[in-house]
Structure 1
Amino acid sequence: MNDDQRSAVMADIYLLLFLALFSVTAILMTLTANLTLNTIYLGLTLVMILMTYFFGAITGLTANLIFIFLQAIVMIYINTTHHATIPMIMIFWLVMPLLLSATFYGMTRHLTQLQVANAKLRGDIMKRGAFDERTDLRTTVAYIQDAQVFIETNRRFQLPVTTVIIRIRYFNEIKRMMNEQQFSDLLRLTSDTIASTTRDNDITYSLDQDNPTWAVLLFSDTPGAQIAANRLKSAFDKRLKESVSLNSLEILLVVGIASWDADKMKSPYDLMNTGIKETEYDVAR
């Protein structure tokens, strides 16, 4: 049994214990005639369960100890001022709140562990997978795989293979002027523009989102790729002016173009890195 399965089983066990203890509490409440105290204690118990959930086990334990102390004060007060006795069966309120808080905390703790594990798994899948969730584009993993196919086609049929790498000029400076929504809008706008301006047989990728980097693989020589890059820049400028959230920012794209050279390059990484290097020499309009 792995950790996730163990956490799921423990969460179920704690849930069953919580429900069982709550059922026992309800039965004991019906056996006592003190409706007022039962109602008050039940309300305070629910408050302590919520405190344990939101603020942790230490806070919940402290609240339960305070509750036990308050119950002792109530018993002393009723016995001395009203000369009445509280039924011994009411003693269950000394332990039930603590047990309910503990079992509820145990359940939520293991559920939280499952959520964290699922989030990590989702992130690993997206990182290693073929598609980027934020832009709906293929990722670096897919780029390397597809580039290998393009390179093999080049070797067999002598078709020119070129990659176009797209970045945002002075991105780090621009990012400091954007909020999270604008950053998301920029990623989406750029991705949609690249995808819509490329040919059907050209493939678009999202290589990096920390320093947003896109790539296009195409069967073309360098002049043909340059025409595609210029068309892309023009389309981006037009869409940027139409964007309500981004039109106030001066955002320029830079592109790097690299063609496959079997004599100088050994792997798809060489093609990609050469294109990234070429972005440093592009003079953005």
Structure 2
Amino acid sequence: MNKMNDSQKTALQADIYLLLFLGLLTLTAILMTASGHLLLNTIYMGLTVASILITYFWGIIPGLIENGLFIFAQGLVMIYLNMTQGPHIPLTLTFWLIVPLGLSFFVYQMTVKQQQLQRQNQQLRSSLIEQGAFDVQTKLRTMVAMVQDARVFIETNRRFKLPVTVGIIRIRYYDQLKSMMSDQQISVLLELTSDVMTATTRENDITYYLNEQVPTWGVLLFADEAGAQIALNRIRDAFNQKLKASAELGSLNISLISGAAQWDDSEMHDPYDLIDSAIKETEYDVGESN
């Protein structure tokens, strides 16, 4: 939980620095219009963009060095113009002494926060993998995570009487298909099914990869059994469409079987009972292969 809070805080800080950057950029455009001197403003903007890029790619120290040289160059230009053409350069151009530093600083801070967020996300993913709650191949949560989440869903059911259902998806005749498919085709099949699961379910439905030996996907829903079956049928329809469009799998006769079970407080005692009941229901799915 702390890691998630840290990630949210870091993401918020990155957004704040982005807004500050855009705000200062807008202010710069206004000041450029108000100050006139198109040639100088164009040159200074080009040098400012160079400062931003140097800071972004090489860090704050090279960016500060470039900004220092930029400020020095501005001073020389002002002295030269005032000596040769008279003191007619307006003071409004002095904003260029501050703007490049501000833009470079905001870009640097935004980049640092984004890199920090990436590290936190990687650490969180590594932590989930170590705990057995995240499958590397399918990028889905595992049985360990599903049991933990199901306890929360079940407690919600007990308090607020919201129906809780587990839906299960398996590949029909997987053992026979496996002997006829290459490793590449199997990998594509697992990835395709996982992608369909995540893309087709609602945002508040959670998808899982439950078994690697007998590929089994699960979805945890706040819905009754009939509602869950509608969601499972939607997954199967989407799977059939993706399958037909797949160059590796389109010629194979592959289909899914599904089952759903709703939590029953009087007959079930823990999440395993709910999951096992849903898996059992897949054995009764005798729908036509597609």
Please report the TM-score for the alignment, with normalisation by the length of structure 1: 0.56
- CA offset digits 1:244-285 (Å, max 9, x no partner): 101111111000100000000000000000001000001233
2:188 equivalent in structure 1: 185
User: Could you tell me which amino acid in structure 1 is paired with residue 229 of structure 2?
Assistant: Q
Identify the residue that residue 275 of structure 1 maps to in structure 2. Answer: 278
SS of match in other structure, 1:246:
coil
Find the partner of 2:248 among 225, 245, 248. 245
SS in 2 for 1:284: coil
Say if 1:255 and 1:278, in contact at 8 Å, map to a contact too. Answer: yes
Instruction: For residues 155-179 of structure 1, give each alpha carbon's deviation from its aligned partner in whole angstroms, at most 9, with x where no partner exists.
Output: 0000000010110111000000111
Match of 1:263 in 2: 266
Pair 179,203 (structure 1): closer, same or farther in 2 beyond 3 Å: same
Q: TM-score, normalised by structure 2?
A: 0.55
Alpha-carbon distance change, 197 to 125 in structure 1, aligned in 2, over 3 angstroms: closer
**Contact 1:169-1:284 at 8 Å conserved across structures:** no
CA distance in 2, matches of 1:126, 1:181: 23
The code of the aligned residue for 1:147 comes to: A
Distance (whole Å) between structure 2 residues aligned to residue 158 and residue 193 of structure 1: 30
Number of equivalences = 164
| 1:222 Cα deviation from its structure 2 partner | 1.0
Listed as ranges, the matches of 1:1-285 within 5 Å are 126=129, 128-285=131-288
Give distance in 1, aligned partners of 2:233 and 2:259: 11
Name the SS for the 1:217 alignment partner. Answer: strand
Gaps of 5+ in 2: 1-125
CA contact (8 A) 1:253 1:284 kept: no
- 1:135 match: secondary structure: coil
Q: Distance in 1 between matches of 2:152 and 2:259?
A: 21
Aligned-residue sequence identity (percent) comes to: 58
What do residues 200-253 of structure 1 show as CA deviations (whole Å, max 9, x unaligned)? 000000001111000000000111111111111100000000011011111110
Distance 1:162 1:210 in 2: 24
- 1:154·1:160 contact (CA, 8 Å) conserved in 2? yes
Structure 1 counterpart of 2:270, which letter? Answer: S
In the alignment, the residues of structure 2 paired with residue 124 and residue 282 of structure 1 have an alpha-carbon distance, to the nearest angstrom, of 37
In 1, Cα distance between the equivalents of 2:171 and 2:207? 16
In 1: Cα distance, 2:128 partner to 2:160 partner: 35
Q: C-alpha distance in 2, partners of 1:124/1:227?
A: 34
Instruction: Return structure 1 stretches of 4+ with deviation > 6 angstroms.
Output: none
Paired residue secondary structure (1:281): coil
Given residue 282 of structure 1, which amino acid in structure 2 is its aligned partner? D
Task: Give the C-alpha shift of residue 127 in structure 1.
Answer: 6.9
Larger Rg: 1
Q: Which residue is equivalent to 1:45?
A: none
| Structure 2 Cα separation of the partners of residues 225 and 144 of structure 1 | 18
**Contact map agreement 1:167 1:254 (CA 8 A) in 2:** yes
- Whole-angstrom distance in 1 between the partners of 2:273 and 2:231: 22
